[in-house]
Structure 1
Amino acid sequence: MMRPTKMKTIGILGGMSNQATSEYYRMINELVNQRLGGWEIGETLIQGLNFGNIEYYVRNGLWDEARTYIEAKAKGAELAGADMLICVSNTMHCVLDNIDSVVSIPFIHISDPTGQAIKNAGLTKVGILGTKPVMQASYIKDRFEKKFGIEVISPNESEQISVDKIIFDELVKGKTSTESKQAYVSVCENLLLKGAQGIILGCTEIFLLLKPEDLPQAPLFNTTELHAKAAVDLALA
């Protein structure tokens, strides 16, 4: 093998949360090693954001401020040498709709590898778990529908509050509990009763709590894992 190994540097907009960021880094390196063997891992550049800022913007609906903050970090990642860009948060994709006009490097939208996986599975209607913006707003759902022909349905209002609270109070801090797992399973079961054929784990920490064996009657689509794989595919192309 020629040295240095030829691959693209994956720019990671991280810190949203640090739990998700560390999982992305682990997955990317494991996937590269599976492909190339030996001691090979990915070439990455992590542009970490302060989750305290993100949490404040999201809680207060300050999306213009969030856009300015994250776009500056994206530019910084490109200037630092990233050849491509991913963002480790489903929620923050709501302010990345114009990212192609901000950076000149390829950007992999988190919904696209998940939408392709759902389409490949032959499903047309799925439920989604995530933060309140992901479950309530249209920016994720519309992309699934327009690009992949997939209908996405959300939990009811009280369930959304519970799902969101568990993310912010527990998962982003690396905490999991049996009670929270059961709460998520119940929400998923209700979505299946509404016609969902599978469930999108539309927050990049949810897979730390909810596993495929917890809901054997329907497939779970792990946005974190699918996104990391898409990044590696491009990095090694």
Structure 2
Amino acid sequence: MRKLGMIGGMSWVSTRDYYERINRGVRARTSPMASAPLLIESLDFEPLWGLNSDEDWRRAGDVLAQSAERLVQAGAEGLIICANSMHKVYDQVAAAAGVPVLHIAECVGDAMHAANVTGAVLIGTRNVMTERFYRERLVAHGVDLLPPDMDMIEEIDRIIYQELMRGKITRDAERTLKTWITRKEQDGAEAVVLACTELAMIVDVDANVLPVFDSTRIHCNAAVDWMLATDN
């Protein structure tokens, strides 16, 4: 198997989920005693959240690019960034790494294209929902995205940063997301993209009013595909 490097810690809650899902995927496709060959650098998230200015994001890009370089020097043959919002600095990280870096939105777009989904609503942190770096990747796969729900952005952002990334799950948050998804179905959405690696903590991915494309699950499946690939 190819050795995969994981840039994690954003948050550690979802990094834990990545580690488990990738190992379960490898075991399911190889043998009951198999483990995934992984290198993980769990970054301190404290200086990497609440980024607003271009300077903030350049600094974050430097942190992740340096992490990528360390993982490659340690033997990683490919990388994943275990966070949706940090893919804003994907190009900087990929350039520093010099090895394949699996883009989470590309993986989600491929999955939606394979499922013939052409219309969806995107839910995640503020920058994922409103900026071009993520949305354009999905649109390039033929997915028509509903406009950002501006009256909900602040509340969803609060739930993600103040609750989920701290490992906190509340019934209020579950009800908020369930109501919002039901409303989006009424607005004409064909599917929901969970473009935050913690959202599956409060959204039922397998039994919902709309099909749910969970970016974490999809990214992990793509990572397993890459690790087990036999081509060069």
Is TM-score (shorter-chain normalized) higher than 0.5? yes
The CA deviation at 1:60 is 5.6
The CA deviation at 1:154 is 4.5
1:128 has 2:122 as partner? yes
User: What 5-or-longer segments of structure 1 have no aligned partner?
Assistant: 1-6
Q: In the alignment, which residue of structure 2 is the partner of 1:234?
A: 226
Listed as ranges, the matches of 1:135-214 within 5 Å are: 135-146=129-140, 148-212=141-205
Q: Does the Cα contact within 8 Å between 1:8 and 1:83 map onto a contact in 2?
A: yes
Counterpart residue type for residue 226 of structure 2: L
- Regions of 4+ moved over 3 Å: none
Q: SS at the partner of 1:40?
A: coil
Deviations 1:75-126 (A, max 9, x none): 1111111111000110000011243321121110001221111112211110
Q: SS at the partner of 2:102?
A: coil
Please give the root-mean-square deviation of Cα atoms over the aligned residues, in Å: 1.4
Kindly, what percent of the aligned residue pairs are identical?
29
Q: In the alignment, which residue of structure 1 is the partner of 2:82?
A: 88
The CA deviation at 1:54 is 1.1
Q: Does the Cα contact within 8 Å between 1:155 and 1:191 map onto a contact in 2?
A: no
Q: In the alignment, which residue of structure 2 is the partner of 1:43?
A: 37
Alpha-carbon separation, structure 2, partners of 1:161 and 1:214? 26
Deviations 1:163-220 (A, max 9, x none): 11000011111111111011011221222223210000000000111013562x2100
Listed as ranges, the matches of 1:35-74 within 5 Å are: 35-56=29-50, 58=51, 62-74=56-68
Q: What is the TM-score normalised by the length of structure 1? A: 0.92
Q: Does the Cα contact within 8 Å between 2:7 and 2:67 map onto a contact in 1?
A: yes
User: What 5-or-longer segments of structure 2 have no aligned partner?
Assistant: none
Q: In the alignment, which residue of structure 1 is the partner of 2:106?
A: 112
Alpha-carbon separation, structure 1, partners of 2:4 and 2:186? 39
Deviations 1:7-60 (A, max 9, x none): 11110000000001000000011111111123111010001111101114x256
